[in-house]
Structures are given as structure tokens and as C-alpha cells.
């Protein structure tokens, strides 16, 4: 929300087994397509804003053309001329011009095809050439290049830049193939180098992952030496001191006060203004959880929140039940916070030695 208020365009998606940063089987294109569908602006914070961004660019070009007494097509060509210097930029600019052509002639099918291309939804070059006359599509190898193009385009449309949010990065940790993991880590290294060196203009990345994904030296980012050196923490940031200027920002655990606010907000969402659960019930619930699992109830609150939602659901559907009776019977299990419990680190791990172990003819 802060990024949207600052005038940025936001693309975001969660990584999954079928969506990752680098791949050869369509998973990277799938990630890009998901990000493009979730593209958000200040006026459309819930996603689906790509057509609005393109329409805004076209409208501005049309307005400038009228002011300068030129054709809109000439203005669009002028504003996108520098795209031809970027990888894939020629076809990107061509697709925008095709969108303008559809806008001018009322050809909704042509406009839809242009948006589909920008979203990475064309699976073959043949279909793209037939629909738009372009020779390339968004594929696994060109995802990052198209993010650069998109950042340049949103700036031409009047926005201040593009912020890309990627969550559930732990899915890269779970890849059993060390070759596949390293290929994704190389892509992250490329992104990191471009951002830190200023090569990626008006483009920022937020990647969310667990501490194990970052620091595990067998499968995490720290297993890739070049990333480990670049992501190393500031040695002076300790004993309560923080450094928010580096590439890694550690999120602090919730405090009991934070959890109380969270539970109150959940109560407001589920019960509205007619809340049947008083504040002292929230305090009693937290005290019960503290007695059962200690500090884990607010440091790793996933199970705590789940239990609270279940409590509210039962109270809502059973008006005669007292909340105090339910809390006393509530069983809360500690959340280990381990998203890698299903990962066998011996599978796909990089061997410690490349020496030949045995050989038989």
C-alpha cells in the first residue's frame, strides 16, 4: 500500500512448484503471468490493472499528439523509441502500437491480444505472430528482461517505477535438483547485481523467505557463494542495532501487544460492530495460550490465530455457548515455524567431494 501511495506500480506473486524465477518448462513464464495478472496501481490496488496502465499511456500520447498537432502513432513511436535498445524492446513497442491501433479502430480483439501478450499468456510464437505480427513472446528465458521493459513502460505511462514482490521463496529451497536451485540463485544474483549497481532503473524487488532459505549453507541462498558475500549482514548491526539500508531486512517477531491488536482486528472482520467477544476475552485467550506453549504463542502465531478464528466461528454459530468455557478446553499446539519439514536435505545436495567413489566395468 505504501508503494502504491508513492505512485509506484506493483507486481506480486507467490512462488510455487509450478512458478519459479528460472525454469525451462514454462514455470518462469507462469510466474510472470501471475505477476502481470496481479499488477496493481493506486486506483486498482487489488490487481488486474495492466489494461488501465496501457490505456493511461495511450490517452497521454493522444493528448500530447493533439497539443503538438502530430499523429498519436508518431508520439507513441517517439516515446517508445528507446525501447529498441533493450532486449525484447522492439516487439514490446510493437505490441503497444498494436494496442493503439485496436483502440483507434475499435478492434477489441486486437486490444485483448495485446494485453495477453503483455501478460505473458501466449504459449507459442506462431500464435503471437498471427495475432499481433510480432516474432517473440514472454518465455522462461526473457522474464527478467520483460520486467525491465515493464518498469520502463510504467514510467512512460506517468508512474514513478515498478516494484516486484515475490513471496514464498522457500519453494526454491525445496527444489530437489541442485542444478535447478543454482539456476534460480544465479537469476537472483543477476537481479541483485543490477539493482545494487543501478543497472535496473526504476525497478525494485521485495523477496520474502524464511531464515532457513537465506542462511542454510547446503540448500539456501548462502549455499551460493556469490550471494552469501553480497547478502552478508552488517556486523555492526547487533545488540538491538538495526541496518535497514542493506539487501536483507530481518522481520522482528510479534510482541504480545502486536498479537492483541491482530486478534482485535480479526474479531472486527469476523464479527463487525456487534462484537460478542469482549477485550477481556482476548486477554484470557492470550493468557491461556501463554500457559500452554509459552512465548511461541506470539512469536510464531500461526496456530494461535487459527485457534482464535475457530473460537469465533463456534461462538457465532452457537449463541448459547460461553467463551470462557471454550477457552478452558482449548488445545493450542506450538508452531515450529518449519516450512521445510518435508525436505530431505540429503536429496539434491551438493556433494562435499567430486572425487570418484567407485568404478566398475
My answer on whether 142 and 271 are in the same domain is no
> Can you say whether residue 47 is alpha, beta or left, with left for phi > 0 and alpha for psi between -120 and 50 degrees?
left
Say if 135 falls within a structural domain. Answer: yes
pLDDT value of residue 34: 95
| In a shared domain, residues 260 and 160 | no
pTM (predicted TM-score): 0.81
- Angstrom distance (rounded) from CA 247 to CA 285: 38
Helix (H, G, I), strand (E, B) or coil at 264: helix
10-residue mean pLDDT series, the chain (361 residues): 88 93 92 95 93 95 90 92 91 95 93 95 93 93 94 94 94 92 95 90 92 90 92 81 84 84 88 74 85 71 84 84 79 57 48 49 58
Whether residue 189 lies inside any domain: the answer is: no
Residue labelled with grid coordinates 518448462: 25
Structural domains of the chain, count: 2
Distance, in Å, from the CA atom of 64 to the CA atom of 76, rounded to the nearest integer, reads 10
Which range marks the domain in which residue 312 is found?
256-329
Residue 77 in any domain: the answer is yes
Query: Does the residue 28 lie in any domain?
Result: yes
pLDDT of residue 37: 95
Q: What is the CA radius of gyration of the chain?
A: 25
Amino acid at each position: 500500500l505504501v508503494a502504491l501511495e508513492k505512485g509506484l506500480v506493483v507486481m506480486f506473486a507467490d512462488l510455487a512448484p509450478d512458478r519459479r524465477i528460472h525454469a525451462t518448462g514454462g514455470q518462469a513464464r507462469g510466474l510472470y503471468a501471475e505477476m502481470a495478472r496481479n499488477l496493481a496501481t493506486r486506483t486498482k490496488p487489488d490487481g488486474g490493472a495492466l489494461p488501465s496502465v496501457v490505456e493511461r499511456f495511450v490517452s497521454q500520447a493522444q493528448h500530447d499528439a493533439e497539443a503538438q498537432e502530430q499523429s498519436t502513432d508518431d508520439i507513441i513511436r517517439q516515446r517508445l523509441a528507446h525501447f529498441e535498445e533493450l532486449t525484447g524492446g522492439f516487439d514490446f513497442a510493437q505490441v503497444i502500437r498494436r494496442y493503439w491501433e485496436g483502440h483507434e479502430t475499435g478492434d477489441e480483439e486486437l486490444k485483448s491480444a495485446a494485453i495477453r501478450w503483455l501478460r505473458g499468456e501466449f504459449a507459442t510464437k506462431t500464435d503471437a505472430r498471427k495475432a499481433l505480427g510480432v516474432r517473440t513472446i514472454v518465455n522462461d528465458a526473457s522474464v527478467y528482461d520483460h520486467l525491465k521493459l515493464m518498469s520502463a513502460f510504467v514510467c512512460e505511462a506517468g508512474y514513478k517505477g515498478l516494484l516486484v514482490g515475490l513471496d514464498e521463496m522457500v519453494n526454491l529451497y525445496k527444489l530437489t535438483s541442485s542444478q535447478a536451485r543454482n539456476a534460480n540463485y544465479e537469476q537472483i544474483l543477476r537481479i541483485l547485481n543490477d539493482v545494487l549497481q543501478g543497472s535496473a532503473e526504476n525497478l525494485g524487488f521485495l523477496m520474502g523467505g524464511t531464515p532457513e532459505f537465506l542462511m542454510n549453507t547446503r540448500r539456501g541462498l548462502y549455499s551460493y557463494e556469490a550471494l552469501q558475500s553480497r547478502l552478508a549482514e552488517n556486523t555492526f548491526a547487533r545488540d538491538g542495532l538495526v541496518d535497514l539500508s542493506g539487501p536483507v531486512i530481518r522481520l522482528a517477531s510479534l510482541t504480545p501487544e502486536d498479537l492483541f491488536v491482530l486478534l482485535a482486528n480479526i474479531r472486527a472482520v469476523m464479527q463487525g460492530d456487534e462484537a460478542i467477544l469482549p477485550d477481556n476475552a482476548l486477554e484470557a485467550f492470550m493468557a491461556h495460550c501463554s500457559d500452554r506453549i509459552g512465548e511461541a504463542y506470539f512469536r510464531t502465531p500461526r496456530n494461535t490465530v487459527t485457534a482464535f478464528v475457530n473460537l469465533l466461528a463456534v461462538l457465532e454459530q452457537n449463541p448459547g455457548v460461553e467463551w470462557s468455557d471454550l477457552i478452558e478446553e482449548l488445545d493450542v499446539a506450538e508452531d515450529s515455524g518449519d516450512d521445510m519439514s518435508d525436505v530431505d536435505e540429503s536429496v539434491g545436495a551438493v556433494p562435499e567431494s567430486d572425487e570418484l567413489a567407485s568404478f566398475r566395468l
